[in-house]
Structures are given as structure tokens and as C-alpha cells.
Amino acid sequence: MSLVTKRSSMALFSDAKSHYSHRVRIVLAEKGVVVEVIEIDPDNKPAELADLNPYNSLPVLVDRDLSLYESWVMMEYLDERFPHPPLMPVQPVSRAYSRLWRHRIQRDWCGYIDMLTSGQGSDAEKDTARKELKESLVTIAPIFSEKPYFMSEELTLIDCCLSPILWRLKEMGISLPNTKQVKPLQDYMERMFNRDAFQESLSEDEKEMN
């Protein structure tokens, strides 16, 4: 069946190993949305995928005639389309801060993560990426002692971005130190990973990562 066949239900074309696809699956699971998850091999994409996404990248979310192909856009769309439970702050200032944190994650971390999870880059570049990511996580770890979620009393889209990254630390060769400073982050990881929605969101490949 062609990918571009008009669908009567929502479908997510997903990379089973990508943290970008994973973050969208977490939102879908937190919302309890019934969705057809179609795993696509990123090294063997069907030609029709380019008809849904001009960049021919994953993930892609299709909701009837709508096709979305940027993970954060998908996450905000799902939060507005299915408002309960809300995953974005109500106040405009808080929403702006949430988007800024997402931008910082994308700008400061995702390049390193993409290198380490794809296996690309030289050994020296990978070592630098691991060092930078580890130091950044250790630096922000105390933040998690203040509230149960990332700077919030309630789960937000930022947690849906962070938790797939943290789930992949072992796969990326990053081990956090067992120190008092880092313990709040480790406790946060345990809370997130034990959520029913997080467990539901995992692909078979992701279950083997941690």
C-alpha cells in the first residue's frame, strides 16, 4: 500500500532508533492517542516518503490530509489537537521559556547526540561529544531537585524531549557519576522511565538500549 494513500486515522512514520521519533511517540502515549506507528528503515526509505516530507526525513506525522515533518511541530500540534493532559504551560511567558529550552537542547546537544547515535564522526569528535554532553548533564543535574519534572510541577514537552536523550546515554557511551550532585537527575530519569507512557512508547530497538 502506498504511503500517501489518504488515511482515515492518524499515522506516524517512525525511525525505531531515533530520539526525534521517540519524543513524538512519548507525546502520543501520554495523550492516549490511537495511532498507527509505521517503522521505517532510515537507510531504506520508501520513495513515497518524499511525497509526505520534502526533506525525506523521519519522523512524519499524518493526520488525514495534514502531513507534519518536524518533531517539535508535531508535539505542539498533538498538544493542541488533544488538549488533555496539557503538555505546554498555559501562560505565554512560560510557553516562551519552554520553547527556548527546546531551542537550547536542539542547538547545544542534538548535534552531538546525532553523531554518537549514527556512528559518524572521528574518534576524537565522538570523545568530545561525550565529554560535552556529560559535563552539561552534570551541570544541570541539581535543577531536578527543585521540582519533579524539568523546572515544572507537571510533565511538559521538554520532558518528552529530554527523556529519549537520557534513555540513550548508555548506547552513546556516557556514564553519569554516582555523586550527590547528579542524584536528582538520576532520580528524574527513574521517574520518567517508569512512567507507563514512556514504556509504551519504546520500540523493540529502544528496549535493548537501556
154-169: per-residue pLDDT in tens?
999 999 999 999 999 9
Please check the confidence at residue 90 and state whether its pLDDT lies above 70: yes
Find the radius of gyration of the CA atoms of the chain.
Answer: 17
Measured between alpha carbons, how far is 46 from 123 in angstroms, rounded to an integer? 32
Q: What is the structure's pLDDT at 3? A: 55
Phi and psi of 95, rounded to 5°? -65, -40
123-139: per-residue pLDDT in tens?
999 999 999 999 999 99
Q: What is the structure's pLDDT at 7? A: 52
123-140 vs 110-118: helix axis angle to the nearest 10?
A: 130
CB count in 10 Å sphere of residue 183: 16
> Alpha carbon 49 to chain centroid distance?
21
Buried b (16+ CB within 10 A) or exposed e, 144-171: beeeebbbbeebbbbbbbbbbbbbbbee
Q: Where are the domains of the chain?
A: 10-81, 92-197
CATH number of 10-81: 3.40.30.10
Name the pTM for this structure: 0.94
Cβ neighbors of 25 (< 8 A, separation 6 or more) are 12, 14, 37, 201, 203
34-64: per-residue pLDDT in tens?
999 999 999 999 998 999 999 999 999 999 9
Second-level CATH architecture of 92-197: Up-down Bundle (1.20)
